[in-house]
């Protein structure tokens, strides 16, 4: 199964930049409290901008999920978090059927994030999109640590 993308509108791109700024401020506060050697948590709650961003994408996500959803299946409860993607470490989608991922960065900042298929095909993360990534695929940052807003989704067979 192939990964899919959802093009973000100008308003959604602004929300991504706002969410990135909110996260940056939050991380700076934490850094002041902790020693510089300790890394931030791997998962954290979504910022207000991150929540607003996912709400604005709900209809587009629902339309795109039809390609990933098994017939006679219903969507299970959703988990939404901000995830740290450490430099040169991969995150494999295991605990969900798909994730919807949005790279937290301003449009002018380039992050070198790759998407790996189970057959080891490598794709560069497209600019200004949300990616729908199926189980077994991997995300990896080859440049520096970065953060991704993630919505984990699973499907359950209806009885």
DSSP assignment string, 33-86? HS-TTSPPPSEEPPPHHHHHHHHHHHHHHHHHHTTTSPTTEEEPP-EEEEEEE-
DSSP secondary structure letter of residue 118: T
pLDDT at res. 154: 84
pLDDT at res. 66: 76
Give dist(CA 140, CA 113) in Å, integer: 6
Domain ranges of the chain: 4-157
pLDDT at res. 38: 46
pLDDT at res. 6: 94
Q: Could you tell me which CATH number the domain at 4-157 has?
A: 2.60.120.620
Give dist(CA 85, CA 145) in Å, integer: 6
Which residues, at least 6 apart from 11, have a Cβ–Cβ distance to it below 8 Å? 56
pLDDT in tens, the chain (159 residues): 789 999 999 999 999 999 989 888 888 877 666 544 444 457 788 888 888 998 999 888 888 887 776 655 667 668 899 999 888 888 999 988 899 999 987 655 567 899 999 999 999 998 899 999 999 999 999 888 889 999 998 887 665
DSSP secondary structure letter of residue 108: T
């Amino acid at each position: 199964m192939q990964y899919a993308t959802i093009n973000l509108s100008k308003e959604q791109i602004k929300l991504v930049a706002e969410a990135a700024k909110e996260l940056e401020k939050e991380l700076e506060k934490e850094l002041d409290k902790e020693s510089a050697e300790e890394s931030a948590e791997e998962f954290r709650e979504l910022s207000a901008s991150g929540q607003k961003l996912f709400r604005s994408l709900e209809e587009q996500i629902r339309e795109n999920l039809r390609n990933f959803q098994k017939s006679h299946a219903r969507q299970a409860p959703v988990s939404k978090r901000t995830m740290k993607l450490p430099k040169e470490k991969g995150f494999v989608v295991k605990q969900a059927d798909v994730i919807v991922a949005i790279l937290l960065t301003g449009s002018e900042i380039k992050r070198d994030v790759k998407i790996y298929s189970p057959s080891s095909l490598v794709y560069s993360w497209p600019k200004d999109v949300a990616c729908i990534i199926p189980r077994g695929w991997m995300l990896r940052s080859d440049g520096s640590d970065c953060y991704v807003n993630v919505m984990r989704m699973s499907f359950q067979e209806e009885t």
